[in-house]
Structure 1
Amino acid sequence: MKFGNEFASQTVPEWREAYMNYKHLKTLLKEILIFRRRQTKLPVPVPSLKRRVSLFRAFSGLTTNTSHASSKQRHKEDEAIIVSSKMHQTDEEQGAEECSRSYQTIFLRSSEEGGDLELVFFRGLDDEFNKVMEFYKSKVDEVVKQAEELNLQMDALIALRIKVNHPLMEVTQESKISEEDEDKRVSLDVLNRVKINATTETPRSTVRSVFNSLNLELNYSKNELKHAQGKLKQAFLEFHEKLRFLKNYAFLNQLAFFKIMKKYDKITSRNASDVYMQMVDESYLSQSDEVAKLIDRVEAVFIKHFCNGDRHRGMNTLRPKCKREKHRVTFFVGCFFGFSLALMVAIITSIHARDLLKDEGQTQYMNTIFPLYSLFGFLLLHMLMYAANVYFWTRYHVNYSFIFGFKQGTELGFKQVLLLSFGLSVLVLAAVLANLEMELDPETQSYKALTELLPLGLVIAVLLVAICPLNILYRTNRFFFLICLWHCICAPLYMVTLPDFFLADQFTSQVQLLRNVEFYACYYGWGDFKKRDATTCNDSNLYQTISIVIAVVPYWIRVLQCLRRFCDGRDSTQAMNGLKYLSTIAAVVSRAIYTLKGGTTLKIIAASTSGVATIFSTYWDIVMDWGLLCKNSENPWLRDKLILPSRYIYFIAMVLNVILRLAWMQTVLDFHEAPFLHRNALIAIVASLEIIRRGIWNFFRLENEHLNNVGKFRAVKSVPLPFIYDYEDEDKDA
């Protein structure tokens, strides 16, 4: 792999713009190389730009070595550059002790032919180095302040541990009790200066904050201790990850400057890399040891106070192993895909061989069995769209794992999602084929109940796998999904995070799947499934009313989530987002009532509300969720930063979003049943189009979220700390 590609693959996606722009500098070197080739008129290849390298290969430049000592003994006439530095203060730094240092390279051979190109290169090189230095210094200052805050949090936690575990101790005396606290003398007076950070994250705390005055005082309970310890442990994990990112940032950039200067030397036959790399070695980027010291301190504290001194367990938690690609996953994806194709061919062959499409039971089959199995079809299509999303997110370096908040190393790649999808498709298609064979085989025609129970058995099997506590079939991801699902159900009692509202948005595109779940309950609960009779369900007014309510529930959940986010952050855009979902609820209800009762007035109401909701939702999708249609952006009518290389893809996505959102028109235009399609088949097609639209929306929604994180250099999660120090009391005491 070329160094440029390997360098890009090792960068922190959210900090990508802060790294040295290796690609740009290499382009400048190519211009110098082309000029020199024209001067000499020799077909000189570019071997230096195609060398295979490794990020972990030893190189001069990161440590002081004899090459720099020998460079000082060179004759002055051999020198090509002089690197100087100067101190300066910004407006914010006036009066501060520390000043910023900028570096400038003076090119001594600018009068030579092609010297202007080399001068441009060194100006670009200086700009990149100063950019890297400024970013690194700012991040080091940031982590030093965070370390001080975590130190205060640990003082409070240890004091709380002592108070909870040894309640008879005097509050004011200094303690040195348990083995875990043996090297840290903590004054228990710190508990008089802190309050618990009661972030409303649970239904109980939310209700209590609404109906009661919020009690922020510590009451020294074990539950409170456990809660604080869990928060602080997560804060240490995120802080350690940030430190590792910063250490890797410094290493990669030093390596990149070394590589680009070696390429310059090889192209120009000069010896400038020693001088420049000596400056890099002596700079804050190389000489600073704050990050390394903080990593050692964080690891020592974490192992001692959160892992009971077990270093092996502590280091496995702080530095989880990289996720490895398993070849058996690829093998089984291929197997299940092949099995699915074979079963589909067998089903189609069976239907055509027996001419089942003209059978008298076709209508009965479409009214009963088709809705039962189409539920799995909607689910499989959504999973396949998610697999495609994961593939393209990975390909274009969208950090979906960080955005969704997956535990490091547990996120599913697109192959794992395909494995689950094709595995489920094999079960579903096998059940469909078995259903057909049992119905047509004279020896099994008497087993009507068993035939009709196949779809229900499949649903039960899927649910059992989803809630299975055993560590099989990606348990971490299954539980993550169930937790997000529970948060959606309990909205607005939980604080809303991105995975919660992202999942709720998926359910707004799976209304037909939810209606099929209702059909399952009615068909097997009140219908005569042994005789394949669903008239009890389809002709029931109560069933139709519940069907309308089910269609509204996902949008209502989103309204409640928007209300909660508005109350938490006072963000007016969330109020507008809630109004968008309310308009969609009005459209869904009016279309459902028109479908049941008909009439010109209801038709006009359905068309009007649907038109308003479509315009509102389309605008929100494209402008707010995707961040597109910016008039004055660098990319006209898109946005300043794009991930996909081709801009026309964004315009195609916008057009498709509008077209697919108009699928509701089949309702008001009375396309309930096409001449060659059953009504349920048409409904399934329209529902599938909405799932496809949602899959497209998913990619661009997360792309926009990723770019927002990049703009703010957010690479680790922000964890609320458990204790709040009351500095006002300290000022009063002073």
Structure 2
Amino acid sequence: MFGVPAAGSANSPLLRRSASKPVDLGSSEPGNSIQEGLFFSADVNEMKTGNSPMHSAVIMPSPLFLWRFKVLLFLIWGCSCCKISWDSVMRMSVDLRDLFLYEVFLYYNPLLLVTMMVWLWGVNLWVFTQSSVNYSKIFDLDNTYLTHREIWKCATWMTIVVPTSMTAYLYLYSHGEVSLAASQPVILYAAVLMILIFPFDIFYLSSRYYLMRTLWRIALPLQAITFADFFLADILTSMAKVFSDLERSVCRMVHRQVATIAWFEADSVCGSHSIAIPFVLVFPYMCRFFQCLRQYKDTKEKTCLLNALKYSTAVPVIFLSALKYHVFPDRWTNIYRPLWLLSSVLNSLYSFYWDVTRDWDLSVFSRIFKFKNPNLCSNILYGRQWVYYWAIISNLVLRCTWTYKLSAHLRHNYLTVFTITALEMLRRFQWVFFRVENEWNKMALKPSLQVSMSDMPKEEDRLLDSANHVV
């Protein structure tokens, strides 16, 4: 999803185009437009002058026409899915409708949120491409990393496949085909897993390999921690709810509870009171916690310990919330609930402070009011003060609401939970701009790593280099 380390590097950002697969110079995708121009300009000129024998037989559709045609097909597909889903839901009885929608939400909410995150990451890369932030150097990328266009292409297919499966599930269940309906999420999850681990050189093999390798490095931080490692780990903390729902979904599939009445029993092995939920929620925070300890071992910087303390404050929020289902109500009301509220406030404020002063390096908010030194300001935002006001205030609000998501006993309203999770994705999307640019500013200020604007890799130059390499 993010990028690729340079050739020979043991460290891995997130996604990478397959380096072993040669560039398809005849491809019609946007990233290969330069190659098309290099090799087919002569044929096009002949067709324009009428000297080509294909002049009378071939009509080249304009790219704008093809783009509009694809958008039209996408809109028709989206409207059809919405219409079929709405009609299917209306066929169900009112008593079971909400319960059934909660189950649908549980299975498809994680993949929908992942799709949203992929779209937003593509926007991040597009903005970095238009600005002076050289994200390829920050993540130590070579010329085979995925561009924002390729990220958006992956997101487009995800946007098509996931809602289509959800529509099929709603339609089949509402028409009495329960066994076929139950197979839809199972097939979707199996397909996603197969695409990730498919061992052949298709679907960006090296990208998938490095993504899985980076996830493994995050789960077991036994080696030196790179910027890409803790950058992805930070993003995964915002997806704790996604992992929790994935665990519950897979649990129900394994125990054959899909599309059965057992799925809404709170005390069942896969119910909302399951002891596995808090452990899955806390797992991304523990990975980041141990990364900080590893960084302290390598650098001896005390800020690493303070950062580890920040991630540890999420642990009481998660487990104190889960205690509501395992203690007497009066003990929860008098003892554990006040402790949960106190830990929630501490976690939210500590995380907010660290975002602004450490990750974004807006020390004591002084840069909101003083832009005398342009090197201290955001090159992406060009010192627009209202953007900093918005970023700081919205980050504080969303940091506090994120506590709602970490608390298992507040997760019964699935629409509210989905909204808050989506807002957390937007907060993380906003965080990425400041975090990556802050890292770029630090690199630019180091004499050994200073990079001029001429070193910024342009996408056209990268494609030309790839074409020359193939030739």
Which position in structure 2 is the counterpart of 1:525? 254
Distance 1:432 1:652, change over 3 A: same
Which position in structure 2 is the counterpart of 1:152? none
CA contact (8 A) 1:340 1:425 kept: no
Distance 1:529 1:627, change over 3 A: same
Distance 1:478 1:488, change over 3 A: same
- The CA deviation at 1:471 is 2.3
Give me the whole-angstrom Cα distance separating, in 2, the residues matched to 1:392 and 1:484. Answer: 24
CA contact (8 A) 2:92 2:174 kept: no
Identify the structure with bigger relative contact order (alpha carbons < 8 Å, sequence gap 6+): 2
CA contact (8 A) 2:293 2:304 kept: yes
SS of 1:361's equivalent?
helix
Which position in structure 2 is the counterpart of 1:451? 181
Question: Which string of whole-angstrom CA distances, capped at 9 and with x for unpartnered residues, describes residues 580-607 of structure 1?
Answer: 1111222222233347765243221111
SS of 1:684's equivalent?
helix
SS of 1:544's equivalent?
coil
- The CA deviation at 1:472 is 2.0
Distance 1:540 1:383, change over 3 A: same
Say if 2:106 is the partner of 1:368.
no
SS of 2:418's equivalent?
helix
Distance 1:647 1:530, change over 3 A: closer
Give me the whole-angstrom Cα distance separating, in 2, the residues matched to 1:616 and 1:332. Answer: 50
Say if 2:378 is the partner of 1:642.
yes
Which position in structure 2 is the counterpart of 1:589? 319
Distance 1:350 1:541, change over 3 A: closer
SS of 1:533's equivalent?
helix
RMSD: 3.4
Distance 1:616 1:546, change over 3 A: same
Which position in structure 2 is the counterpart of 1:663? 401
Distance 1:668 1:703, change over 3 A: closer
SS of 1:479's equivalent?
helix
SS of 2:262's equivalent?
coil
- The CA deviation at 1:520 is 2.0
- The CA deviation at 1:700 is 0.9
CA contact (8 A) 1:563 1:574 kept: yes
Give me the whole-angstrom Cα distance separating, in 1, the residues matched to 2:317 and 2:67. Answer: 41
Q: Out of 405, 428, 432, which is 2:140 matched to?
A: 405
Distance 1:384 1:666, change over 3 A: same
Question: Which string of whole-angstrom CA distances, capped at 9 and with x for unpartnered residues, describes residues 261-292 of structure 1?
Answer: xxxxxxxxxxxxxxxxxxxxxxxxxxxxxxxx
- The CA deviation at 1:434 is 1.6
Can you give the 5+ residue segments of structure 2 that lack an aligned partner in the other structure? 1-5, 10-21, 23-28, 37-62, 452-471
CA contact (8 A) 2:91 2:174 kept: no
Distance 1:545 1:478, change over 3 A: same
- The CA deviation at 1:414 is 1.6
1:693-712 to structure 2, matched below 5 A, reads: 693-712=427-446
Give me the whole-angstrom Cα distance separating, in 1, the residues matched to 2:205 and 2:406. Answer: 44
Which position in structure 2 is the counterpart of 1:349? 83
Give me the whole-angstrom Cα distance separating, in 2, the residues matched to 1:555 and 1:668. Answer: 11
Distance 1:500 1:665, change over 3 A: closer
Which position in structure 2 is the counterpart of 1:512? 241
Say if 2:358 is the partner of 1:620.
no
Structure index of larger Rg: 1
SS of 1:360's equivalent?
helix
1:13-412 to structure 2, matched below 5 A, reads: 325-326=31-32, 339-353=73-87, 355-356=90-91, 359-406=94-141, 408-412=142-146
Give me the whole-angstrom Cα distance separating, in 2, the residues matched to 1:660 and 1:612. Answer: 14
Question: Which string of whole-angstrom CA distances, capped at 9 and with x for unpartnered residues, describes residues 153-191 of structure 1?
Answer: xxxxxxxxxxxxxxxxxxxxxxxxxxxxxxxxxxxxxxx
Higher helix share: 2
CA contact (8 A) 1:657 1:693 kept: yes
- The CA deviation at 1:561 is 0.3
Distance 1:631 1:371, change over 3 A: closer
Distance 1:377 1:541, change over 3 A: closer
Give me the whole-angstrom Cα distance separating, in 1, the residues matched to 2:368 and 2:391. Answer: 19
Question: Which string of whole-angstrom CA distances, capped at 9 and with x for unpartnered residues, describes residues 328-347 of structure 1?
Answer: 99999877765554343223
- The CA deviation at 1:633 is 5.5
Q: Percent identity?
A: 22
CA contact (8 A) 1:634 1:640 kept: no
Which position in structure 2 is the counterpart of 1:557? 287
CA contact (8 A) 1:398 1:703 kept: yes
Give me the whole-angstrom Cα distance separating, in 2, the residues matched to 1:411 and 1:541. Answer: 39
Which position in structure 2 is the counterpart of 1:688? 422
Distance 1:540 1:610, change over 3 A: same
SS of 1:470's equivalent?
coil
CA contact (8 A) 1:591 1:667 kept: no
CA contact (8 A) 2:99 2:264 kept: no
CA contact (8 A) 2:322 2:409 kept: no
CA contact (8 A) 1:448 1:530 kept: yes
Question: How many correspondences in the alignment?
Answer: 389
Give me the whole-angstrom Cα distance separating, in 2, the residues matched to 1:634 and 1:451. Answer: 54
Give me the whole-angstrom Cα distance separating, in 2, the residues matched to 1:477 and 1:576. Answer: 33
Give me the whole-angstrom Cα distance separating, in 2, the residues matched to 1:611 and 1:431. Answer: 39
TM-score using structure 2 length: 0.74
Say if 2:298 is the partner of 1:568.
yes
AA paired with 1:497? Answer: T
Give me the whole-angstrom Cα distance separating, in 2, the residues matched to 1:474 and 1:592. Answer: 40
Q: Out of 632, 652, 655, which is 2:390 matched to?
A: 652
